[in-house]
Chain A
Amino acid sequence: MTKSPTTTLNWHSYRQESLTTGGFGPRRAEIWPLLLHAHKPHDDKGGLNPSAHPDERQIQLDTDRSFVLYPVDPLLEKESLKSQLHELIVSVFRKRPILSYFQGYHDIVSVIFLTLPPEMQLCCAEKLSLQRVRDSMGSTLEPVLGLLRVMSRLLRLADPSLASLLEQISPLPYYALSNLLTLFAHDMPCLSLIQHVFDYLLCRPPIMVVYLASAILLSRKAEIEKLEEAGEEGMVHSLLSGLPDIYDEDVGDSQKTQDIDTADRLAVVYLPLESDATTATVDESASPVTSSEAAQLVYKSTVSEAESKAPEDPGEDAREPIGGRSEEEKEVVEEEKGVVEEEKVVDEETRSFDPKAELLKEKEPMEQINELVEELAPPIDAATDHKNPADEPQEPYPRLIRPRVSLSSLLVAADQLYERYPPSHPDISLTSIMGPQSVVFTWSESPSEMPDDDEAERMVEKPELIVRPYTELYAENEKSEIGRGNEAHHKRRRKRGTFLGGRVEQRTVVAGAVLAIGVAVAMYSVRTRSINGASIGKDGVKDWQVMGMWLGGSLMSAGERVFGTKKP
């Protein structure tokens, strides 16, 4: 690799490009390793632990049933792909034995596997795991549940009425679990779409997966409102755990220009997120977003200068014909999402069992949803469907509830959502949910500001620093079971009053506790260092900063204020 290529990375330009149709196209094979700060190893096998990782059996079980949706090329030998994928995943865990495997991780790595050249797969999978997916690679699901809580707060801000509707049905957006856990790798129906999503996510802070999942959800308001009539948690879960009909093909000039215009309008700068324990307590008392806070934290919108990139889409020919999926394939896709749309037709003659019992023809959730759609809009001609959306009327049915939606528009919407409601927003207050060692705080554009790989690996052993302890406040909300949303909802409503009352005090206590842990660990590390005779000088300052960032958030900002090393 060239010397410190990351210092010259133009994140801004990558972010712009990732919003356009097709994303990075075939160039992603070179761009992803840069964005991940991954370097081709000199010695491939050097760091591998020869002993098996405890999760290898589970890895086998999942890679055995991988590549169900893609690649679609019938010439590819899927069995061979599966064994290569298995080997790749096992290599990550033998190299990083402290990490734990989760079901769905194999979906993430399969995207790396199908996109990058073999020599870059392991190092990229490793970096992605350590610096972006790490929170989910400890022993529990708690960190991703934390992200669901962030998502819940974001939805309340962005669309209170929709959020309240959704909360009636499910206390947390559990249907988005696989979106957040697998960075959509489990959910996108074809390779080119998930590649584009990765283009988008990899050049942004890890928290953006929450904004993207939320933007997608918000785009489905009409569908969700229709479901209110059915009012069933299961049905909503079925609908929302699948994705809307997303396209990312060449949609003709007018549409494309529109995409690019939007992309140009929105130029966003992501400053590093700081897990600032003191901010967390301050956030609770502040009601409106103060401009200083917004500036401190995250994300500014600027008018972009003329973009060097973007207009010509580089990746057109390399893309799979997403829209070209046959109806059968489409059906498979929908089944895979756990959505049932066909009627079960029972042939009584062929049933060899209890002839008195029969399965009724059942209208399944998707079928009912589709019927609702049909009531509102004439069906789109199957021959032209998925071929060229530009041929279709653009907004013919204002009440169409299952519109096709372009990936670019969702990505832009996610950016806008972030701009409007950054993680520092008092009503999101990321620091009050996620701990200082979460990837949402440790990730940085600059590798020198991130924990090194070994440190990152060890962070999964301290779950209490990844996600804040779960307060009774939330437990109350989440204890209600899924599938019995309505009556649970009324109880929750009644509790809202106390909810607000209890809030400030509880979070202050938690934030203080985590700050104390952070300081204690940082002190300990520094002492160890001086005992070992490490010099404390310029490097010492740096160490303090880095440790502060991932050990006790507030140290970081203190360090920055004192040393003034951070760019504004």
Chain B
Amino acid sequence: MSKQFQFKLVLLGESAVGKSSLVLRFVKDQFDDYRESTIGAAFLTQTVMLEDQTTVKFEIWDTAGQERYKSLAPMYYRNANCAVVVYDITQSASLEKARTWIRELQRQADPSIVIALCGNKSDLAARRQVTEEEAKKYAEEEGLMWAETSAKTGEGVTEIFTAIAKKLPLTATPASRTGAARPGASRAGVDLNKQATPGPNEPCNC
């Protein structure tokens, strides 16, 4: 019997580090050299199947990076099961910003949230300002997952989301159900933090 999990994932990080591009690579396996800035937030989903036939559906909230949109972020990370905090390896200031986000998540988000620190633009290693060692050390100190990615080449992108998917069921109490539901048909509003999980025949919200 395969299990299906549904998780809310939020992307945070400084402007122009490649949050939207990372999601676009993960969800559609595409890359645009120029991607419009995100205003507010965008929503996408992608489902990963793990080796034991477990499926993990990510409901991804991709947020705007500019500081002034920060006040909206709690809405998106509140009750998120996982967060991908992105920095740009060619901009050391963006790692500082990532640290700020991580501190905020540690303070404000659900204590069980899985946080992945993600150094994007690894294809631009020649202009690197953030060493792997520095970022990795910080991630280890804080107990975060860490990886470098390139939304442009695809390197590391699916790996990090898959790694999160593998870690999640072990750290949260997910909504699990039989695999009968067709993709996308699962009821929304499943409260992953609720212990009593609604069954597939739970009446709808109307």
Q: Which residues of A contact B38 (CB under 8 A)?
A: 103, 338
Take A234-B61, A357-B49, A485-B188 as given contacts and tell me if A68 and B35 are in contact as well, using a CB distance cutoff of 8 Å. Answer: yes
| B49 and A103 contacting across the interface, CB-CB below 8 Å | no
B68-A362 in contact (CB<8A)? no
For B43, B61, B69, the residue with the greatest tally of chain A CB atoms inside 10 Å of its CB is B43
Query: How many Å from the CB of A377 to the closest CB on chain B?
Result: 21
Interface centre among A66, A142, A233 (most CB of B within 10 A): A233
| Interface residues on chain A, number (Cβ under 8 Å) | 67
Min CB gap B147→A, angstroms = 11
Which of B97-105, B116-124, B129-137, B157-165 touches A? Answer: B157-165
Task: For the complex, give the distance between the alpha carbons of A186 and B204 in Å.
Answer: 35
- Residues on A with beta carbons closer than 8 Å to the beta carbon of B16: 61, 64-65
Contact flags B10-31 to A (C-beta < 8 A → 1, else 0): 0000011000100010111110
Q: Chain B residues with Cβ under 8 A from A241's Cβ?
A: 40, 42-43
B68 touches A231 (CB 8 A): no
Which residues of B sit under 8 angstroms from A106, Cβ to Cβ?
37
Complex interface: chain A residues within 8 A of B204 (CB)? 229, 231
Instruction: Scan residues 127-159 of chain B and give those whose CB is less than 8 A from a CB of chain A.
Output: 158-159
Question: Roughly how many angstroms separate A411 CA and B42 CA in the complex, as a whole number?
Answer: 26
Pick the residue among B162, B183, B206 that contacts A361 (CB under 8 A).
B183
CB pair B49–A358 under 8 Å, yes or no, is: yes
Tell whether, in the assembled complex, residue B45 and residue A362 are in contact, meaning their CB atoms are under 8 Å apart. yes
Interface: B171 (CB within 8 A): no
- Contact check: which of A103, A237, A340, A482 meets B15 at CB < 8 Å? A103
Contact with B along A171-184 (1 / 0, CB 8 A): 00011011001100
**Is the pair A228, B206 in contact by a Cβ cutoff of 8 Å?**
yes
Tell me whether A235 is interfacial, beta carbon within 8 Å.
yes
Q: Quote the shortest CB–CB distance from A358 to chain B (angstroms).
A: 5
Report yes or no: A104 in contact with B39, Cβ–Cβ below 8 A: yes
Q: Is B50 an interface residue (CB 8 A)?
A: yes
A232 touches B188 (CB 8 A): yes
With A231-B188, A362-B46, A481-B78 already in contact, the answer to whether A103 and B55 are too (CB < 8 A) is no
Of A182, A186, A351, A487, the residue contacting B191 (CB under 8 A) is: A487
B48 touches A235 (CB 8 A): no
B195 an interface residue at 8 Å Cβ cutoff? Answer: no
Query: Which residues on B sit within 8 Å (CB–CB) of A481?
Result: 74-76, 78-79
Contact between chains at B191 and A178 (CB < 8 Å):
no
Across the interface, do B36 and A68 meet the contact criterion of CB distance under 8 Å? yes
Contact (Cβ within 8 A) B40 A177: yes
Chain B residues closer than 8 Å to A178, beta-carbon distance: 39-40
Among A104, A362, A487, chain B packs the most CB atoms within 10 A around the CB of: A362
Interchain CB contact (< 8 A) of A231 among B64, B184, B205: B205
**A186 — which chain B residues lie within 8 A by C-beta?**
36, 39
A250 contacts partner chain B, Cβ-Cβ < 8 Å: no
Hey, which bits of chain A sit against chain B, CB under 8 A?
A: 58, 61-62, 64-66, 68-69, 100, 102-104, 106-107, 139-142, 168, 174-175, 177-178, 181-182, 186, 228-235, 237-238, 241, 335-338, 340, 342, 344, 351, 353-354, 356-365, 368, 478, 481-487, 489
Interface of B toward A, CB cutoff 8 Å: 8, 15-16, 20, 24, 26-30, 32, 34-51, 55, 57, 59, 61-62, 64-66, 68-69, 71-72, 74-76, 78-79, 158-159, 162, 165-166, 183-184, 187-189, 191, 194, 204-206
A sample of 21 inter-chain contacts (CB < 8 A) reads A62-B15, A64-B34, A66-B36, A68-B32, A103-B69, A104-B37, A141-B69, A168-B205, A175-B40, A177-B40, A230-B184, A231-B204, A235-B43, A357-B51, A361-B183, A362-B27, A365-B184, A478-B75, A483-B79, A486-B189, A487-B189
Contacts A359-B46, A489-B205 given; 8 further ones with Cβ under 8 A? A65-B36, A65-B37, A140-B71, A353-B158, A357-B166, A359-B48, A481-B74, A483-B76
